[in-house]
Amino acid sequence: MAQLSADNHGLRLVVRYTVLGLIALIFVFPLVFMLMSSLKPDAQLLSDTRSLRAFLPVGDISLDNYFDAFRRAPVGLFIFNSVIVTGVTVVLTLFICSAAAFAFVFVDWRGRDLVLTLILATLIVPFETIAIPLLLIASKLPWLGFDGLTYGWLNSYQVQIIPFVADGLTIFLFVQYFKDLPGELIEAARVEGASWWQVYRRVVIPLAGPVLATAAILKFLVMYNQYLWPLMVVQEERYRPVMVGLQYFFQLNRAWGEIMAYLSLITVPVLAFYLFLQRAFIASIASTGVKG
Amino acid sequence: MKSLRLLATSIAITTAMSSAAFAQTTLTMWYHGAGNEVESSIVNQIISDFNASQSDWVVEMQSFPQAAYNDSVVAGALAGNLPDILDVDGPVMPNWAWSGYMQPLQIDEAKIANYLPGTKGVWNGELYSIGLWDAAISLVTRQSYLDELGLRTPTLAEPWTGEEFMDALAKAKASGNFDYALDLGTAWTGEWYPYAFSPFLQSFGGDIIDRSTYTSAEGVLNGDAAVAFGNWWQGLFEDGYAQATQDPADRDNGFNSGKYAFSWNGNWAALGTLDAYDDVLFLPAPDFGNGSKIGAASWQFGVSAASEHPEGASAFIEFALQDKYLAEFSNGIGLIPATASAAAMTENYKEGGPLAVFFDLSEAQALVRPVTPGYVVAAKVFEKALADIANGADVQDALDSAVDEIDADVAKNDNYGF
Amino acid sequence: MASKFTRSNSTGWLMAGPAAVLMGLFIVLPFLFAIGLSFTNQRLISPNPTQFVGLSNYSQLLGVGLLTLEPERNEAGDVVRAEDGAVSYPALRGYTRNNPDYPQLDGMREWFSFSLGESRTYVLARDVVFAKAVVNTIIFVLVVAPVQGGLALVLALLINQKLRGINVFRAIYFMPVVVSIVVVSLLWRFIYDGQSGLLNNLLSALTFGAFPRIDWLGNPSTALGAIIAMSIWQAVGFHMVIWLSGLQTISPSLYEAAAIEGASKWQTFRYVTWPGLRNTAVLVLIVITMQAFALFAQIDVMTSGGPLDSTQTIVFQAVERGYGKQDISGGSTISVILFVFVLAISLLQRWLTREKK
């Protein structure tokens, strides 16, 4: 079993861990700052930022900011909305975009190159550019729901989900990854008479662990941090997601402690999702019969 | 026969009752108070009182966070999804009225006869919005600072002149007790800049736009008076009296923890300062030659153009115009109640109250921001010019390009109807 | 290789169909709409009717002009100089405002200028802020693309070891991506503070007080660099993860073979790792470039384009114009210009990195 770095000599190990650790310090301190600040009262929080005390749990520590944050805004509701919107979007995206990428890479069909080029071209279009026209479209679309046929998708979950299910970045991610998979496996399966769907499900998806995890976390992040679109299309509090909810704390007399507490709370789902996906980032190479 | 009559009567009564129930129309309302517990609870109080006081209308409120409110309304207007009642920031109202989001109010004008001028939103000769409070700014400092630095205490009748003010700043800086002499609030980018700093420009004799025609800023924003203002403004930063880039934490907390000798701040922050010190003074703005000026106009209630029940919406707004509500708002958020009679009922603004001086300041010195739909663009252009000058740009150039941009915008919009 | 095992029109359309339809409706259609808007004078909402204005929005943004001026001379024919010795030139405004001899320069402002001998050449632009935004964005892309992509690769290689607890480090390196831009910007503002920010404190300590205190975000020469550093720090974890997924596709037996043949670390990288990363490299490069061109959030939260336009970017201008100044047609015009520009660059990139068959 090949080891990418087989060095376990003591000194080398210490050096490695030190380097990794120093780099880790550079990357972890915002989280530490956020968490520590959420435990401090406002005045102390602000004065601590002048020094290294900002990263230490010193002074008047308590959970007061968290209680106050819950009083000021329906935090639980916002997190719930964000998790629903993000979760559904991620699941749909993984399916639809990987299927499309599969078709682009392994299937030969008329119009393939043109459609792929168009899709990749959309990578250049920043969202702010199309937000207003999209708003106009979304306010006129029909929807078949429990009340029957209604027009206008505003103030709903679907308006926050459906426009974002297919995106160029995710498709591109899958395409580049699939290109690296051995084409012979696909050939072999097709020769044995497998249908395209079987090839997709049985051959490609099991090999796609790392890219599925990557696409999932990236999409999760984008959807979870959305602000402009929910601001425009959601006017009722019951559908608001977390980043719009953050504005509740930026009233005239800002409560920085509560802001930090709120931010700490809303970071939890993202962290949890990322840690959950950690294992999938590592391909289980030994068991997949990748040719040597 | 009798039973038939009884049946008919009971049917009639039931129908009358259900039609009375049907006659209760729901009015939707948007308010910018989400996250602000005090404001929200007062508004909710007014709403429930109104709903209980009559049976024609029921008002339902949807709360929005203040920072996102204007964008939400514009998006709502684009999507055709505006409520019946909405509140609007004073200087933005002409833009919304001209754009067609709002319709004039149908309230009894006698009720607002005593209201502070800054609370009335008038456009094109019609009343579109009315506010329950006004906001004012003052130069905040402490009596002990003035005594230490040997400065005269300015009064409403005799404010500091421009020279006295600069002398005060120089003394504060020389004393070495403060990080900076003056806290201008440059951390609060956005509407604060034109609201807080255009009064200085007006005190020098300039203005954001020429108010006689509202079609050009030439001569008022880049004339001699304005350039004098620009040089003074740049001098504040070059000479180290104030910071061009400021930490938001310093703005919120700096004066209260002794970093600054003077703070140019609004009365919504006054309550916090009163807690921090016991010898707080709220001084009038310095007079740079054209009289002391401060800003005016805050949030006001209005009716959206698409509302199908404007009479109900106006009825609600008229209901809210009671002194007791004005006093409650003032006590809760610290802003100036719209009438003197309401002021007498409040803790802070009654005769001798700690913030009573703001009421007089507002009456004497308030000048509303330019009443034009073009204000939305002009404010942004002005803010950028101020920031650029603070960072060292050439004053005449910065003001000239600001004038060019404002004029171009007005021309592009057919002079906004002027 | 097209054979009957790979050709299938119906499958192709069926599998790619949903994605294509969704993107067509929610991205392509709005963008076509935006293109249409750029040829009008549409405001966000206004009672004035919308008019078709052709290319005037474009010329308003992209107009440039050149003007060479001779210095002012007094009656004796000597050059007039200002107090500090600088040569005095006639005021530019006289040429650019209502001057019938120079109609093409009307409304332009100075972008930059240089001296050739005694005369001074001014490069004018009709929209100087936009011109600066374009330059800043290009600088940002040119710096960030290689630096961020390269750093991310280094980190990915570092993380791809079989050490105990390596997962913890992987999670930590990804942290900045997870944390919201609000916290990141707040934190970095404290770091960059001109008086007592952490960066100034650190530099001062390291140089024993020799290094002066700089207001990193308030100084036009350092502001863009500060934003660049912060952006790279925040996003490098994102691309590290993408490189990682590419590294996983390289078969370990290739590494075994290299080890058996006694290849050094560098040789292993160059002949085994790097070729296997080709497709990922294309992905990372293109994605970083796209994201760099779309720089907006950090500017919006931290500097609003200042100081003195040193951190203006194209998308920030598009948003400010479209929403802030309610000129949705101007905002759309900027977006179209950006699109064409980036399309050209990405086509160039694709051509340069095409697979040589």
Q: Distance between alpha carbon B113 and the CA centroid of its chain, in Å?
A: 20
> Chains meeting B at 3+ CB pairs closer than 8 A?
A, C
Report the percentage of chain C scoring pLDDT > 90: 22
- Spell out the domain ranges in chain A: 1-62, 66-287
The verdict on residue C11 lying in a domain is: no
Integer CA distances (angstroms), B402 to B44, B77, B231, B405, C102, in order: 42, 29, 16, 5, 22
B67-80: average pLDDT: 88
How far does C279 lie from chain B, in Å, by closest CA? 41
Helix H or strand E segment including B304? strand B299-304
**C170 and C239 assigned to the same domain:** yes
Per DSSP, the three-state class of B130 is: strand
**C148 and C182 assigned to the same domain:** yes
B111-137: average pLDDT: 90
Two tokens, residue B10: 């009971």
Integer CA distances (angstroms), B250 to B186, B257, B377, C91, in order: 10, 9, 28, 41
Q: Which residues contact B109 (CB under 8 A, 6 or more apart)?
A: B127
Per DSSP, the three-state class of B102 is: strand
How far does A166 lie from chain B, in Å, by closest CA? 24
Find, in chain A, the residue whose alpha carbon is nearest to that of B69: A231
- Look at strands B85-89 and B25-34 and give their pairing: parallel
Domain boundary residue among C79, C104, C126? Answer: C126
What pLDDT, on a 0 to 100 scale, did the predictor assign at position A124?
83
The verdict on residue C177 lying in a domain is: yes
Burial (Cβ within 10 Å: 0-12, 13-18, ≥19) of residue B174:
exposed
What pLDDT, on a 0 to 100 scale, did the predictor assign at position B299?
93
Q: Which chain C residues contact residue B189 at CB under 8 A? A: 304
Q: Which chain B residues contact residue A37 at CB under 8 A? A: none
Q: Which residue has the tokens 């503070």?
A: C193
CA B53 – CA B48 distance, rounded (Å): 8
Per DSSP, the three-state class of C112 is: strand
Closest partner residue to B35 (CB to CB) among A72, A139, A236 is A72
* HEC string for B221-280: CCCHHHHHHHHHHHHHHHCCCCCCCCCHHHHHHCHHHCCEEEEEEEHHHHHHHHHHCCCE
Domain count within chain C: 2
C241-257: average pLDDT: 84
User: Angle of helix A75-106 relative to helix A64-72, nearest 10 degrees?
Assistant: 80
* HEC string for B328-380: HHHHHHCCEECCHHHHHCCCCCCCCCCCHHHHHHHHHHECCCCCCCCHHHHHH
Q: Which residues contact A62 (CB under 8 A, 6 or more apart)?
A: A39, A41
Q: Is the pLDDT of residue C357 over 70?
A: no
Specify whether the CB–CB gap between B369 and B351 falls below 8 A: no
B189 touching C, CB under 8 A?
yes
The verdict on residue C267 lying in a domain is: yes
Q: Which chain B residues contact residue C47 at CB under 8 A? A: 98-100, 417
Closest partner residue to C16 (CB to CB) among A24, A104, A120 is A104
Q: Do B35 and A249 touch (CB under 8 A)?
A: yes
Share the mean pLDDT of chain B.
88
CA C212 – CA B64 distance, rounded (Å): 45
What pLDDT, on a 0 to 100 scale, did the predictor assign at position B18?
47
What pLDDT, on a 0 to 100 scale, did the predictor assign at position B20?
46
pLDDT band at B5 (very low <50, low <70, confident <90, very high): low
State the amino acid at position B105 in one-letter form: L
pLDDT band at B384 (very low <50, low <70, confident <90, very high): very high
Q: Do C195 and B74 touch (CB under 8 A)?
A: no
How far does B1 lie from chain A, in Å, by closest CA? 45
- Look at strands C64-69 and C119-125 and give their pairing: antiparallel
Output the CA angle C51-C52-C58, nearest 5 degrees.
120
CA C303 – CA B384 distance, rounded (Å): 12
What pLDDT, on a 0 to 100 scale, did the predictor assign at position B335?
87
pLDDT band at C233 (very low <50, low <70, confident <90, very high): very high
Closest partner residue to A235 (CB to CB) among B36, B62, B253 is B62
CA A109 – CA B341 distance, rounded (Å): 79
How far does A234 lie from chain B, in Å, by closest CA? 9
In order of their start, the domains of chain B are 25-134+297-356 (3.40.190.10), 137-294+374-417 (3.40.190.10)
**C277 and C321 assigned to the same domain:** yes
Helix H or strand E segment including B85? strand B85-89
The verdict on residue C252 lying in a domain is: yes
The yes/no answer to whether this complex scores an ipTM above 0.90 is no
φ, ψ (nearest 5 deg) of residue B180: -140, 150
Cα torsion C267, C272, C278, C283 to 10°: value is: -90
Specify whether the CB–CB gap between B98 and B417 falls below 8 A: yes
Question: Of B222, C287, C98, C331, which is closest to residue A131 (Cα–Cα)?
Answer: C331
Q: Is the pLDDT of residue C182 over 70?
A: yes
Q: Do C217 and B77 touch (CB under 8 A)?
A: no
**C228 and C201 assigned to the same domain:** yes
Number of other CB atoms surrounding residue B78 within 10 Å: 17
**C83 and C107 assigned to the same domain:** yes
Range of the domain at C76: 64-126
> What one-character DSSP code corresponds to residue B35?
T
What pLDDT, on a 0 to 100 scale, did the predictor assign at position A279?
67
How far does C78 lie from chain A, in Å, by closest CA? 54
Q: Sign of the CA dihedral C309, C315, C318, C324?
A: negative
Two tokens, residue C209: 């007080």
Domain boundary residue among C126, C150, C172? Answer: C126
Q: Do C283 and A176 touch (CB under 8 A)?
A: yes
Q: Is the pLDDT of residue C130 over 70?
A: yes
Q: Which residue has the tokens 């079609």?
A: B215
Chains A & B: contacts with CB separation below 8 Å: 81
Q: Is the pLDDT of residue B412 over 60?
A: yes
| Overall residue count recorded for chain B in this entry | 418
As a whole number of Å, the CA-based R_g of chain A is 24
Specify whether the CB–CB gap between A249 and A266 falls below 8 A: no
- Look at strands B137-142 and A142-145 and give their pairing: unpaired
Question: Of B393, B372, B362, which is closest to residue B156 (Cα–Cα)?
Answer: B362
How far does C276 lie from chain A, in Å, by closest CA? 8
A238 touching B, CB under 8 A?
no
Q: Which chain C residues contact residue B77 at CB under 8 A? A: 45
Residues 129 through 148 of chain A touching chain B, CB cutoff 8 Å = 132, 135-136, 138-139
Find, in chain B, the residue whose alpha carbon is nearest to that of C189: B247
Query: C278's torsion region: left (phi>0), alpha (psi -120 to 50) or beta?
Result: alpha
**C177 and C293 assigned to the same domain:** yes
B200-217: average pLDDT: 93
CA B180 – CA B202 distance, rounded (Å): 25
**C208 and C302 assigned to the same domain:** yes
C215: domain CATH number? 1.10.3720.10
B66-77: average pLDDT: 88
Q: Which chain B residues contact residue C324 at CB under 8 A? A: 380
Region A66-287: CATH code: 1.10.3720.10
How far does B333 lie from chain C, in Å, by closest CA? 26
Residues in chain A with pLDDT < 50?
A: 1-4, 283-292
Q: State pLDDT tens for residues B156-184.
A: 889 999 999 999 999 999 999 998 999 99
Q: Please list the residues that pair with B303 across neighbouring strands.
A: B85, B103
Q: State pLDDT tens for residues B298-344.
A: 999 999 998 999 999 999 999 999 999 999 998 888 889 999 899 89
- Model confidence, pTM: 0.87
φ, ψ (nearest 5 deg) of residue C87: -70, 140
Of the candidate ranges A263-267, C19-23, C121-125, C317-321, the one whose mean pLDDT is the lowest:
C121-125
Cα torsion C355, A125, C155, A214 to 10°: value is: -90
CA B260 – CA C52 distance, rounded (Å): 54
State the amino acid at position A79 in one-letter form: I
CA B198 – CA C200 distance, rounded (Å): 34
Q: Distance between alpha carbon C290 and the CA centroid of its chain, in Å?
A: 8
Q: Is the pLDDT of residue C26 over 90?
A: yes
Report the percentage of chain C scoring pLDDT > 70: 97
Of the candidate ranges B56-65, B234-243, C109-118, the one whose mean pLDDT is the lowest:
C109-118
Q: Do A190 and C20 touch (CB under 8 A)?
A: no
Burial (Cβ within 10 Å: 0-12, 13-18, ≥19) of residue C334:
buried
Q: Which chain C residues contact residue A19 at CB under 8 A? A: 158
- Look at strands C109-116 and B180-183 and give their pairing: unpaired
What pLDDT, on a 0 to 100 scale, did the predictor assign at position B27?
93
What pLDDT, on a 0 to 100 scale, did the predictor assign at position A93?
96
B247-272: average pLDDT: 87
**C160 and C238 assigned to the same domain:** yes
B273-283: average pLDDT: 89
